[in-house]
């Protein structure tokens, strides 16, 4: 074979290899750039129905979403709210319910459940008074459903609060309601009973601390960042016309009022 023929064959082989390589590269790039997949709810010509997703088999439940105990997950029996707990109420359950209530419910309903939480006092839509007769007589399943799905201006808290914690809050709401009119006869024998005045004095407050009070009606209150952006305590005192000590005293007074 001549040298010329060998060079030609080499060039043809190199060209064919280059074409094959470029074809392979372009094909991979196309698959990676436009992944061949079916997007939910998008039309497809693969199935006769034109849908890209096949309908689920009747009775199919997604993994981790099996609601074996329907009342535990819905608070309903035969589409009716029930006044019952799906598990026993113990002191740890009530303590957990109080903790979750204080975190998620008190901004609107307040710690005593009267619907006068901090953000309501500052202009948000009034929250339900958990102590009023209409709400007082709602079944426990109603409180669970409201936390799960929301009610009126109240958003749902299903994403923030687990199912068991929602029931714990419902149990604590009932305990909070019962505590407002509990007679001494309900106290088991041998339990030491203290008045609120005695408890207040033990905590360092005056005896009349738990008595009724009136909160200021504030609306459209600007945030602290809007009022005092990037300033130290002395600058805040100068801007408001009060000393730093006076400002701190006012904050302490407000905190004490808010913890009643």
Please say if the pLDDT value at position 216 is more than 80: no
Q: Using one digit for the tens of pLDDT, what is the confidence trace for 111-131?
A: 888 888 888 888 888 889 999
pLDDT band at 31 (very low <50, low <70, confident <90, very high): low
Q: Using one digit for the tens of pLDDT, what is the confidence trace for 88-107?
A: 999 999 999 999 999 999 99
CA–CA gap between residue 42 and residue 53 (Å, rounded):
8
The candidate with the shortest Cα–Cα distance to 74, out of 149, 135, 136, 128, is: 149
Give the mean pLDDT of 28-41: 67
Give the mean pLDDT of 5-23: 69
CA–CA gap between residue 28 and residue 111 (Å, rounded):
61
What residue ranges do the domains of the chain occupy? 70-181, 224-258
CA–CA gap between residue 225 and residue 249 (Å, rounded):
20
pLDDT band at 239 (very low <50, low <70, confident <90, very high): very low
Please say if the pLDDT value at position 169 is more than 90: yes
pLDDT band at 4 (very low <50, low <70, confident <90, very high): low
Comparison of pLDDT for 70 and 215, the residue scoring more: 70
Q: Which long-range contacts (CB under 8 A, 24 or more apart) does 221-230 make?
A: 221/122, 221/123
Q: Using one digit for the tens of pLDDT, what is the confidence trace for 39-86?
A: 777 888 888 888 887 787 887 877 777 766 689 999 999 889 999 999
Spatial contact of 101 and 172, defined as CB atoms under 8 Å apart: yes
The reported pTM is 0.55
Give the mean pLDDT of 20-24: 66
| pLDDT of amino acid 213 | 54
CA–CA gap between residue 166 and residue 143 (Å, rounded):
8
Which CATH number does 70-181 carry? Answer: 1.10.760.10
CA–CA gap between residue 86 and residue 71 (Å, rounded):
7
CA–CA gap between residue 54 and residue 13 (Å, rounded):
48
């Amino acid at each position: 074979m001549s040298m010329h023929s060998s060079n030609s064959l080499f060039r043809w082989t190199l060209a064919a290899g280059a074409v094959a390589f470029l074809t392979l590269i372009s094909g991979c790039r196309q698959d990676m750039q436009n992944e061949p997949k079916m997007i939910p709810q998008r039309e497809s010509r693969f199935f006769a129905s034109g849908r890209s997703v096949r309908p689920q088999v009747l009775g199919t439940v997604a993994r981790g979403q099996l609601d074996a105990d329907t009342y535990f997950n819905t608070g309903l029996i035969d589409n009716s709210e029930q006044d019952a707990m799906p598990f026993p109420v113990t002191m740890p359950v009530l303590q957990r319910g109080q903790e979750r209530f204080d975190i998620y419910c008190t901004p609107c309903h307040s710690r005593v459940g009267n619907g006068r939480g901090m953000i309501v006092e500052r202009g948000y839509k009034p929250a339900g008074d958990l102590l009023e007769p209409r709400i007082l007589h709602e079944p426990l399943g109603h409180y669970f459903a409201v936390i799960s799905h929301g009610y009126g201006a109240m958003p749902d808290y299903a994403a923030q609060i687990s199912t068991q914690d929602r029931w714990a809050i419902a149990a604590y709401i009932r305990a909070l309601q019962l505590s407002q009119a509990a007679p001494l006869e309900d106290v088991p024998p041998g339990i030491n009973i203290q008045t609120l005045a005695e408890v207040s004095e033990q905590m360092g407050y005056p005896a009349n601390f738990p008595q009724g009070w009136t909160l200021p009606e504030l609306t459209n209150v600007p945030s602290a960042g809007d009022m005092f952006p990037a300033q130290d305590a002395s600058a805040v005192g100068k801007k408001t016309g009060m000393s730093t000590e006076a400002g701190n005293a006012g904050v302490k007074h407000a905190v004490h009022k808010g913890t009643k």
